[in-house]
A and B are shown apart, each in its own frame.
Chain A
């Protein structure tokens, strides 16, 4: 890696200030960023570590009953502490990567990076979560804007993610054999006023909501309801591990299985 300075603020306010430095790069768990730095594919002048900010850590419930997770909370912590409130989300967190990733990687880092094959974007979009930053709140529907693209502005930090808790939900994934990221995964959440389905790993535009499946499941929440649906594979990721057509097919299988798991 190239040389860089490290800032380790202990408040959001100081972090925002540090991010004002030229070529500053926020770093949370570093599970994506550090390998990128080691491969010399990024050259920030300052790394602003977010993991020393206590106000960005932990899992709690707000007045509306939403599960609120600090941006610097590790996947392992979410797996443990969200279990009682939102088991499907806790299960998603418990299955990300490997133990090193789960104990270093954070929800804010994952959401900010918006890898098209990451797990958390599906959980956030599928839950209709609200992404809280140092200066605003953004609905998940507006936040995820494409592969590695988000609504975040330069220097903006994800401080918290608020998840409305559905009556039932499930995250179903099939792993890419090498990276063990999802090859395709579906997060299905059943709310009293409808169903949300978010798909990760499949689209060249990153995580997306599958409207037809949501509609079908809102009127008939059963695996059969999505059996006849299909997605167009032409704009889906096509690589060594599967064609767009295969991924489009897997969207249906993962969604169906998520619904079946909810029962």
Chain B
């Protein structure tokens, strides 16, 4: 019998009522009295010397309030980078300046050069067209391998080259890894590209800056996944505003997928301009601007090699990756191809020796940063494609090869610096084999062939690391932030609760699932609990939502705070019941004395806390409000096995996904329906990357896939009815809920299964294709079949 509330219940998402009835409060819904609008004049040249920005004709245009250029921002800081990677020689990465508005040079198409603040958006745009730019165009660098060659044009003249860092991990293991390759019975090599993506949340970015002269207070309303991080970065590093004078609000946010983690120039601009113009300043991104100003994702070029012994045991793994940083370092860009990628290269396998090399490269393209999965999809894709290729070369079953090399004992310390606390890869693979009906595949293939189609089956495993932690470790790895989470639980006199969390919900359903946890702990109705997030003035300092960390880290902070509440409430109850505190039990929202029928209701205790007439004032303070900060001792490690079945039209190259099965281990689950929804969304994005999405620049640095006419998003008709299971559960061993994280799994785990299935289909048609790059478009499949 499913539960109808609390942990494990598929409670309906309470936030959907307002989203689906048009009552959401998104940043673009915020309109302040007297607000002006800003339009950014952006570079349409990828690389050039900015000789002059002549705003004189534009100044007098109707409605213009003020025009800003890079000069206006010379006195303020640049956009900060939140992570410093140390290269294989022990040197810090090359870190270029990143101005709010271009200074001296333009370095990518879409870089803001000038900003026009006007009475209306159209007037701002009209005036921007009257600004005269004098730009000396320079040769652009787009291809990463070209960019690191001697003599390549430099994106940043003050750096020694376009190489941000050359990272070796673990550098000390390199000799042993090379030795293992020398002694290998078989070596499988694969070269591939992990295609560049544009996140495309449904809601484009928006920023509204406000300034109060009376108190000298700044407020920024913004589409962010982490308002406290924006407050810290923008206040401390860009504009020099102390945190007590700066409030950042991220209200309802319509999807983030990573691209709304970062601190962007437009946020700093609106905050700055609101004070300069003494009126609120609003920016709403057009979809065209989003394509060329939201941080992009992925974009790795990799060579990966696997060494096996004569019994097909994996003995070593070696990778060589070029990772595109774009023209500037976005907030967390350096961490993605290193600590979020290299640490995952062991995957689900007990490969004893691993060496990962990553060269991060500056190019004249939009900055690249975390996108759903962030480094982990890149790791999973190359590894799981490689294992499939090895199985084919060795003539063994790809599932059997995986099973043979699975990690089976936990905790397991990988050779890439992380320790998996728990998992059961055999169980998820067993489950997957059952779901995917492998026995019936041969008959399904025959049916397809009768229609002139090819059918392929592909599988992969994945491991991911969620809730990046602990702070003292990530600090050593170069993070310039802590990675704890916070929660304040405020109990009201009449028994209702408000939980103020540092996590941020932009589609994840926290308002529902977080309330379920507290309801379970106290034994009260979920509807007595309100979840507040997204406002630095209302919530304790928190790090926000990304990396599938919210329930594992933010949820744990909430549990700790609620435990404090319960402990104090028990003291009050023991006083009211005239019993020893140690005898008080909390069950179903009532406190009772063990072994008696004496009890007091939750609401009587909360009322006593605020109307302390009969209250132990000599022992405890009145009130019932507690805060906790939770810093995890380790990542959590969700894992799973995915299978994809495709049908391929050999005449056109078109691929359709006929079946998709996902067996995940997320540990304990708070709301199964929400978890299923998160997996569905992740799968759509993973399949989107595998089949459709591709961000393409030409050699001059012009963005070719700059609209939905050329950037292919997945649509419902492109996706199958998924078969999703999360009954395999090995609870996380180190957080109080035993939870892992589920937001990114689908995007991490699905691309290799799709590509493995397509290659299997092509082989069944007599074409032994070693590899095909994503997106596996009809044109590419046809070319591969006829190459």
- Do B779 and A179 touch across chains, with their CB atoms under 8 A apart? no
Answer yes or no: A174 CB below 8 A from chain B CBs: yes
Query: Is the Cβ of A174 less than 8 Å from the Cβ of B782?
Result: no
User: Which residues of B709-732 are within 8 A (CB) of A?
Assistant: 709-713
A243 touches B708 (CB 8 A): no
With A240-B694, A253-B651 known to touch, is A246 a contact of B779 (CB < 8 Å)? yes
Given contacts A174-B652, A253-B652, contact A183 B778 (CB under 8 A): yes
CB of A118 closer than 8 Å to a CB of B:
no
Separation in Å of the A196 CB from the closest CB of chain B? 23
Question: Does any Cβ of A come within 8 Å of B777's Cβ?
Answer: yes
- Chain A residues with CB under 8 Å of B170's CB are none
CB–CB A178/B778 < 8 A: no
Q: What per-residue 1/0 map shows which CB atoms of A248-263 lie under 8 Å from chain B?
A: 0110010000000000
Which B residues from 630 to 664 make CB contacts under 8 A with A? 651-654
Tell me if A84 is interfacial: C-beta within 8 Å of chain B: no
Q: B782 contacts which of A39, A177, A178, A249 (Cβ < 8 Å)? A: A249
- Cβ-neighbour of A179 out of B653, B692, B696, B709 (below 8 A): B709
Select from chain A the residue with minimum beta-carbon distance to B715: A180
B617 close to chain A: CB less than 8 A: no
CA distance A139 to B711 in the complex (A): 37
Q: A39-B288, A177-B692 are in contact. Are A241 and B777 (CB under 8 A)?
A: yes
How far is it, in angstroms, between the C-alpha of A43 and the C-alpha of B652 when the chains are bound?
40
A207–B110 Cα distance when bound, in Å, is 35
B783–A177 touching, CB < 8 Å: no
Partner-B contacts on A (CB < 8 A): 2, 39-40, 174, 177-179, 183, 239-243, 246, 249-250, 253
A178-B711, A249-B782 known; A240 vs B704 contact (CB < 8 Å): yes
User: Within 8 Å CB of B704, what residues of A?
Assistant: 240
Nearest CB on A from B696, distance (A): 6
Is B705 positioned at the interface, with any CB of A under 8 Å from its CB?
yes
Residue ID in chain B nearest A249 by CB atoms: B782
Task: List which B284-304 residues lie within 8 A (CB) of chain A.
Answer: 288
| Chain B contacts to A: CB under 8 angstroms | 125-126, 288, 651-654, 691-692, 694, 696, 704-705, 708-713, 775, 777-779, 782-783
Which residue of A39, A40, A177, A239 has the most chain B CB atoms within 10 A of its CB atom?
A177
Looking at the assembled complex, report how far the CB atom of B643 sits from the nearest CB atom of chain A, in whole angstroms.
24
B288 near A242: Cβ-Cβ < 8 Å = no
5 contacts between A and B (CB under 8 A): A2-B126, A177-B778, A240-B710, A249-B782, A253-B651
Closest-CB distance, A259 to chain B (whole angstroms) = 14
Contacts of B779 in A (CB 8 A): 241-243, 246
Please give, as numbers and ranges, the residues of chain B lying within 8 Å of A249 by CB-CB distance: 782
* Interchain CB contact under 8 A, A240 and B696: yes
Set of chain A residues within 8 Å of B288, measured between Cβ atoms: 39
Kindly list chain B residues whose C-beta atoms are within 8 Å of the C-beta of A177: 691-692, 712, 775, 777-778
CA of A146 to CA of B696, assembled, Å? 28
Contacts of A183 in B (CB 8 A): 778
Residue of B nearest to A242 (CB): B779
Establish whether residues B652 and A179, one from each chain, have CB atoms under 8 Å apart when the complex forms. Answer: no
Q: Determine the chain A residues whose CB is within 8 A of the CB of B651 once the complex forms.
A: 253
Cβ–Cβ < 8 Å partners of A241 in chain B: 710, 777, 779
Q: Is the CB of A250 within 8 A of B709?
A: no
Write out the residue numbers on chain B whose beta carbons fall within 8 Å of the beta carbon of A240. Answer: 694, 696, 704-705, 710
The answer to whether B778 and A174 touch across the interface, beta carbons within 8 angstroms, is: yes
- In the complex, the 8 A-B pairs of residues with the closest C-beta atoms, listed nearest first: A178-B712, A242-B779, A177-B712, A179-B709, A253-B651, A246-B779, A178-B710, A177-B692
Q: Are A246 and B782 in contact (CB under 8 A)?
A: yes
Residues on A with beta carbons closer than 8 Å to the beta carbon of B709:
178-179
CA distance A39 to B44 in the complex (A): 14
Q: Is the CB of A179 within 8 A of B778?
A: no
Q: How far is the CB of B716 from chain A (nearest CB, A)?
A: 12
State how many angstroms separate the Cβ of A32 from the closest Cβ of chain B: 11
Cα of A249 to Cα of B691 in the assembled complex, Å? 21
How many angstroms from the CA of A174 to the CA of B711 in the assembled complex? 17
- Whether the pair B654, A179 counts as a contact (CB closer than 8 A) is no
Contact of A246 among B126, B705, B711, B783 (CB under 8 A): B783
A102 to chain B, nearest CB (A): 16
Q: Are A178 and B654 in contact (CB under 8 A)?
A: no
B219 to chain A, nearest CB (A): 31
Cross-chain contact A242 with B778 (CB below 8 angstroms): yes
CB-based contact B710/A179 at 8 Å: yes
CA–CA, A240 to B697, complex, Å? Answer: 10
Q: Which residues of B contact A239 (CB under 8 A)?
A: 710
A239 to B777 Cα, complex, angstroms: 13
Q: Distance (Å) between the CB of B708 and the closest chain A CB?
A: 6
Q: Please, how many angstroms separate the alpha-carbon atoms of A240 and B694 in the complex? A: 9
CA distance A243 to B778 in the complex (A): 11
Give the residues in chain A near B778, CB-CB below 8 Å: 174, 177, 183, 242
Question: What A residues does B653 contact at CB under 8 A?
Answer: 246
- Inter-chain CA distance A78–B710, complex, in Å, is 28
Given the known interface contacts A39-B288, A240-B696, A241-B777, the answer about A179 and B782 at a Cβ–Cβ threshold of 8 Å is no
Known: A174-B654, A183-B778. 12 other contacts (CB 8 A): A40-B125, A174-B778, A177-B691, A177-B778, A178-B713, A179-B708, A239-B710, A241-B777, A242-B779, A243-B779, A243-B783, A253-B652
Task: Determine which residue in A178, A183, A249, A253 has the highest number of CB atoms from chain B within 10 A of its CB, and name it.
Answer: A178
Q: How far is it, in angstroms, between the C-alpha of A243 and the C-alpha of B653 when the chains are bound?
A: 13
Nearest to A40 among chain B residues (CB) is B125
Q: How far is the CB of A258 from chain B (nearest CB, A)?
A: 13
- Inter-chain CA distance A40–B694, complex, in Å, is 26
Q: Which residues of A contact B783 (CB under 8 A)?
A: 243, 246
Neighbouring B residues of A243 by C-beta, 8 Å? 779, 783
Nearest-Cβ distance from residue A257 to partner chain B, whole angstroms: 8
**Which B residue's beta carbon lies closest to that of A177?**
B712
Q: State A249–B709 Cα separation when bound (angstroms).
A: 23
CB-based nearest A residue for B705 = A240
A178 to B708, CA, bound (A): 6
What CA separation (Å) do A178 and B715 show in the bound complex? 10
Residues on A with C-beta less than 8 A from B711 are 178
B709: nearest residue on chain A (CB-CB)?
A: A179
Residues from chain A with Cβ under 8 Å of B710 in the complex: 178-179, 239-241
Give which listed residue, A40, A178, A250, contacts B652 with CB less than 8 A.
A250
User: How far does the alpha carbon of A201 sit from the alpha carbon of B654 in the complex, in Å?
Assistant: 17
Closest residue of B by beta carbon distance from A178: B712
Residue of B126, B692, B704, B778 contacting most chain A CB atoms (<10 Å): B778
Nearest residue (CB) in B for A253 is B651
Q: Residue of B at shortest CB range from A241?
A: B779
Alpha-carbon separation in the docked complex, A174 to B126 (Å): 40
The complex places the Cα of A177 from the Cα of B709 at a distance, in Å, of 9
* A57 smallest CB distance to B (angstroms): 29
CA distance A109 to B604 in the complex (A): 71
Q: Smallest CB–CB gap between B451 and chain A, Å?
A: 13
- Closest-by-CB residue of B relative to A2 is B126
Determine the distance from Cα of A250 to Cα of B782 in the docked complex, in whole angstroms: 10
State the Cβ distance, A153 to closest chain B Cβ, in Å.
Answer: 29
Of all chain B residues, which has the CB nearest A117? B709
B residues less than 8 Å from A253 (CB atoms):
651-652
Cα A39 to Cα B708 in complex, Å, equals: 13
Q: What are the residues of chain B within 8 A of A2 when measuring CB–CB?
A: 126
Contacts of A40 in B (CB 8 A): 125
Query: Complex formed: what's the CA distance from A261 to B778 in Å?
Result: 22
Bound complex: CA A40 to CA B288 (Å)? 12
For residue A179, which residues in chain B have a CB less than 8 angstroms away from its CB?
708-710
B contact residues around A39 at 8 Å (CB): 288
A183's nearest neighbour on chain B, judged by CB, is B778
What is the bound-complex CA distance between A134 and B705, given in angstroms? 39
Within the assembled complex, what's the spacing in Å between the Cα atoms of A209 and B126? 44
Task: Give the docked Cα–Cα distance between A40 and B39 (Å).
Answer: 14
A255 to B691, CA, bound (A): 25
Distance in Å from the Cβ of B70 to the closest Cβ of chain A? 24
Q: How far is the CA of A196 from the CA of B329 in the complex (A)?
A: 57
A2 to B651, CA, bound (A): 46
A180 nearest CB neighbor, chain B only: B715
CB distance from B718 to the nearest CB of A (A): 8
CA distance A118 to B778 in the complex (A): 20
